[in-house]
Amino acid sequence: MQGGRFFTGFTKLCKGIVVILFLGHILVQLFPSAASYLALIPARTIPFAWNLVTSGYIEQTIPGVTVSIAGLLLFGKVLEPLWGPKELLKFIFIVNLSTSVCVFITAIVLYYITQEESYLYTPLSGFYGVLSGLLVGIKQILPDQELNLFVLKIKAKWIPSIVAFISVIISFFLKESVSYLPIVLFGIYMSWIYLRYFQKRLEAGLKGDPSDEFSFSSFFPAFLRPVLDPVASIFDRLLCGRSQRPEATGHTLDGSQFPGSGSIEANRRRERGQRALEQRLAEKLAAVRSLEGTPQQQQPQLEEDDASDKV
């Protein structure tokens, strides 16, 4: 029964996107030429600009579409109750589009540096950028939640970093995986940019997440943070002025944070995530108890009916 409940409770939004991923995979399998119009081919993106959007929903391999569907259902089940369907859909669209734009620009730059035409004509597609972004969302909301990966217990805050590290390592040994590497890395980075500086949080009265626990250096081991923090602070100054409002809780009139206010916001976010998880577990437990109690409630009712018939 535990396994059955694990594969239930998926949201309507995620199920709808799953249908799109499945149909996109079937389409390119039945009509391979469709990949030329739907996948991201940098040399053709200027006339076919829509492939900046469609490429993220086209999985060209069976393992790819399987991982994408499973990841979307599982990660969406955690995030949608906390963000809401509109915010989750907005997040998926923004991360997918921004990732495709970054991959396109990178391919053009690499072509001009190396003069290798493969950077212009290799079809690039896949939902990995969004999946990586959803992992960043889980890192933000439930950073201390422990996940069982085979024999290891790893906190959710380290999962995006581990995925990025493994992707880089694999790219050195498998040539085919090189095309997926920029999608994964830009998916992680662009999702962090959106969540860090632009996501609206009405309960906090500001945009983004200014907490230290969600800083750019939090993706790296502690010994690297003294080197990364000065560099990250440059982008923080460029973006924070427009993303944070002076009247927000925990900010002074000049826009600076009160000491410890970032940690307060992070604690509030973690508490919301924990409450949502506890609520879902309570609902599942109540459903199981109601199913187990139904036969016991029906039996006395049948005995009362028999007694009334005898009378």
Q: Dump the DSSP string for 65-114.
A: HHHHHHHHHHHHHHHHHHH-HHHHHHHHHHHHHHHHHHHHHHHHHHHHHH
- The answer to whether residue 125 sits within a structural domain is yes
Half-sphere exposure of 125 (CA within 13 A, CB side): 27
Count of domains for the chain: 1
pLDDT at 108 over 90: yes
68 contact partners, CB below 8 Å, separation of at least 6: 21, 59, 126, 127, 128, 131
For the stretch 138-181, pLDDT in tens is 999 888 888 776 667 888 889 999 999 999 999 888 877 778 89
In this model, does residue 199 exceed pLDDT 80? yes
Calpha distance 216→130 (Å, rounded): 18
307 lies in some domain: no
Residues 30-38: contacts with CB under 8 Å, at least 24 apart? 35/60, 35/123, 35/125, 36/123, 38/125
* pTM listed for this prediction: 0.75
77 part of a folded domain: yes
Does residue 99 belong to any structural domain of this protein? yes
In a domain, 311, yes or no: no
CA distance 122 to 144: 39
State the Cα torsion 185-62-10-275 to the nearest 10°: -30
Beta carbons of 102 and 182 less than 8 angstroms apart: yes
Contact 128, 183 (CB under 8 A): yes
Name the average pLDDT for the chain: 79
Query: pLDDT tens digit string along 59-80?
Result: 999 999 999 999 999 999 989 9
β-pairing, 146-149 vs 206-207, is unpaired
**Helices marked H in 148-205:** 159-173, 181-193
pLDDT in tens, 21-55: 999 999 999 999 999 999 999 999 988 899 999 99
Residue 203: pLDDT band by 50, 70, 90 thresholds?
Answer: low
Domain of residue 195 covers: 10-286
Nearest to 162 by CA among 139, 195, 180: 139
List all residues 6 or more positions away from 60 whose beta carbon is below 8 Å from its beta carbon: 25, 28, 35, 39, 123, 125, 126
Report the pLDDT averaged over residues 230-247: 62
What amino acid occupies position 61? T
Answer whether residue 303 is part of any domain. no
Domain contains 310: no
Q: pLDDT, tens digit, for every residue of 285-309?
A: 665 566 655 444 444 454 455 544 4
| Whether pLDDT at 14 is above 90 | yes
pLDDT at 258: 42
Residue 219 lies in a domain: yes
